[in-house]
Chains A and B, each alone.
Chain A
Amino acid sequence: MYSLMANCCNWLKRWREPIRKVTLIMVGLDNAGKTATVKGIQGESPEDVAPTVGFSKIDLKQGRFEVTIFDLGGGKRIRGIWKNYYAESYGIIFVVDSSDVERMEETKETMSELLRHPKISGKPVLVLANKQDKEGALAEADVIECLSLEKLVNEHKCLCQIEPCSAIIGYGKKIDKSIKKGLLWLLHIIAKDFDALYERIQKDTTEQKAAEEQEKRERAERVRKIREESYLCIF
């Protein structure tokens, strides 16, 4: 009887909660398994994934959350685009190839650069220690040590959770439970501090949008002048 009441209460509480729109960014080195993870969450087979040198996104509903996940290319040169998405992200999913021990140093540097960015510091980070299905994959504790994760997250005041997983063992309903668990954790943390995050993100995105609009207008003006000069050639 008591459990029934508790369930009713929970359900009522959830029903009264507003729908929250949340954006997450999925980052990590190239070949970490970001696109495979995203596809798996979406319910698609992660086979035959082409390297992302750009951007794509997925939308999903989780409880009262409407979640958008930005899947961003992780190659050394394209990583430069990540910062453009920091302002609007509520949380970060950082995917690590646990079997690629040689690149752990590079992963650490990349993560450090990410977490110290003013638009990221303080936001929750989910670290997916992916490719656990591969031989030689580092276990959770080893990954934490290689990345000096504890030090990093404390330094930048980011709440953090690490989940060892494999993005290819299943997709959709059969997705690796750790991935689901990690995602739920992330959303839970975001929900706890939602109002503050929301304020911060509103401010940052308004600023960013204004700057983008300004740049767009200026470029349009410059190009308009170029077009006018060649009016003669247009027929």
Chain B
Amino acid sequence: MGEVQKGLLSVIQKLKGSEEQELRIVLLGLDNAGKTTLLKRLASEEVNTITPTQGFNIKSVHSHGFKLNVWDIGGQRAIRTYWKKYLGSTDMLIYVIDSADQKRFEETGQELSELVEDENLTSVPLLVFANKQDLATASSAADIAEGLNLHTYRDRPWQIQACSALSGEGVQDGMNWICSQITSRKK
């Protein structure tokens, strides 16, 4: 019966016909920020069996007429040294922060500021997800923006989005901003 279903799907796809524009999005942040949960949310997959990422995950997401290839790279300290290898041809940077992990705000701010200095990310729009807003101890998105000194990034558009990848709240708003950026850049 699986064969039948696959056949049906390809019929529908052919009827749709059109070519989608492909874009590369990189999802970064410290370990335990919620990157993989966010990735699975974007791909409308279940988020209950996630394990810590060793290496990276890729998923393709269709949104607003684009095909977004999203690269979720592990945030463990040892893996951060590999981040810059994945920055080539990036159209958008999504940086995820655990809003309740105040102890590491400075560390994540430093990682982000080092990232944006990479020449592959010149002028690349930045979306910061202030994740885990469902937790009582979470700092607000505005406080995080202040703490991260996002105002010092003047060479690219940036947006901070409060969200909870677990519940899904705020995730679509972030995606809407991404797509509005992409549509204006591609014109």
Contacts and interface: CB of A to CB of B under 8 A. Distances in A.
**Is there direct touching of A and B in the complex, by C-beta distance under 8 Å?**
yes
A78 B160 contact: yes
Interface in B8-54: none
Interface stretch (B67-75, B85-93, B94-102, B142-150): B142-150
Contacts, number: 74
B124 to A, nearest CB: 13
A57 B154 contact: yes
B106 A50 contact: no
Nearest to B159: A54
B151 interface: yes
B176 A50 contact: yes
A167 B37 CA distance: 39
B141 interface: yes
A220 B113 CA distance: 10
A63 B36 CA distance: 49
A219 B104 CA distance: 12
A44 to B, nearest CB: 6
Contact of A54 (B77, B145, B184): B145
A155 interface: no
B74 to A, nearest CB: 13
How many chain B residues sit at the interface, stated as a range, is: 20 to 34
Contacts of A13: none
Interface in A180-235: 212, 215-216, 219-220, 222-223, 226-227, 230, 233-235
Contact of A215 (B78, B149, B150, B177): B149
A230 B76 CA distance: 12
A110 interface: no
Nearest to A230: B77
Interface in B118-157: 128, 140-142, 145-146, 149-154, 157
A223 B159 CA distance: 24
A84 B141 contact: no
A81 B81 CA distance: 31
Interface string A72-114: 0100011011001100000000000000000000000000000
A62 interface: no
B63 interface: no
Interface of B: 77-78, 81, 106-107, 109-110, 113, 128, 140-142, 145-146, 149-154, 157-161, 173, 176-177, 180, 184, 187
15 contacts: A44-B184, A50-B180, A51-B173, A52-B159, A53-B160, A53-B161, A54-B159, A73-B159, A77-B140, A80-B142, A84-B151, A212-B152, A223-B110, A234-B77, A234-B78
Interface of A: 39, 44, 48-57, 73, 77-78, 80-81, 84-85, 212, 215-216, 219-220, 222-223, 226-227, 230, 233-235
